[in-house]
C-alpha cells in the first residue's frame, strides 16, 4: 500500500473555493477535506460504530472554504489554512437512540474545543 501524497490546494482550486460556482466549490471542499484533512489537535475518537450513517455538512452562508462535518457523534470544523483543509475545532454531540425512544431532546453533549470561535458566524438559512 502506497503513502497518500499530501499536496496543498492548487491556485486554480483555491480560486474555485473563493469565487467559483458555490455548489461545485462546496463539493470540491468536502472531497478534498475528506482525503487530506489535517488536525490542530489529536482527533476526537467516538466509540459509536453505526452502519448506514452519513455525514452532514453545514457551511457559512455564501462560502465553501470552511464548514462543519457531523458524523457519528462528533462535529468537526474544517477550514482552509496554508493551502490545506485543517480541522480546527471538534466536539462530541449526542446521538438519538431510537431503540430506547430517546431522541436526545433536552440532553446535552460534552464539548472539547480545539481552536477558535468561528462556529458562531454561521447563519440560519
Domain count, the chain: 1
> Domain limits at 102?
11-115
Count, residues in the chain: 125
Q: Is 16 within the bounds of a domain?
A: yes
Percent of the chain with pLDDT over 70: 66
* Residue 102 near residue 111 (C-beta atoms within 8 A): no
Mean pLDDT over each residue of the chain, to the nearest integer: 77
Q: Is 15 within the bounds of a domain?
A: yes
Judged by average pLDDT, the poorest of 6-15, 24-33, 102-111 is 102-111
Helix axes 11-19, 22-36, angle to 10 degrees: 130
**Run of H or E including 59:** strand 56-59
Q: Is 120 within the bounds of a domain?
A: no
Whether the predicted model's global pTM rises above the 0.75 cut = no
99 versus 35: which is more confidently predicted? 35
Please give the average per-residue pLDDT across 13-38, as a whole number. 94
| Contacts of residue 9, Cβ cutoff 8 Å, sequence gap at least 6 | 17, 32, 80, 83, 84, 85
Q: Is 82 within the bounds of a domain?
A: yes
Please give the average per-residue pLDDT across 30-47, as a whole number. 90
Q: Is 2 within the bounds of a domain?
A: no
The confidence band for 100, taking pLDDT boundaries of 50, 70 and 90, is very low
| pLDDT at 123 exceeding the cut of 50 | no
Q: Grid coordinates representing 5?
A: 501524497
Amino acid at each position: 500500500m502506497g503513502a497518500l501524497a499530501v499536496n496543498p490546494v492548487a491556485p486554480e482550486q483555491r480560486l474555485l473555493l473563493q469565487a467559483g460556482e458555490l455548489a461545485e466549490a462546496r463539493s470540491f471542499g468536502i472531497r478534498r477535506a475528506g482525503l487530506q484533512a489535517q488536525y490542530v489537535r489529536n482527533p476526537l475518537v467516538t466509540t459509536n460504530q453505526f452502519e448506514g450513517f452519513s455525514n452532514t455538512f453545514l457551511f457559512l452562508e455564501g462560502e465553501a472554504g470552511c464548514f462543519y462535518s457531523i458524523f457519528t457523534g462528533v462535529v468537526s470544523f474544517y477550514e482552509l489554512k496554508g493551502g490545506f483543509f485543517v480541522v480546527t475545532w471538534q466536539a462530541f454531540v449526542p446521538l438519538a437512540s431510537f431503540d430506547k425512544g430517546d431522541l436526545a431532546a433536552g440532553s446535552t453533549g460534552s464539548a472539547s474545543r480545539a481552536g477558535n470561535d468561528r462556529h458562531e458566524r454561521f447563519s440560519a438559512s
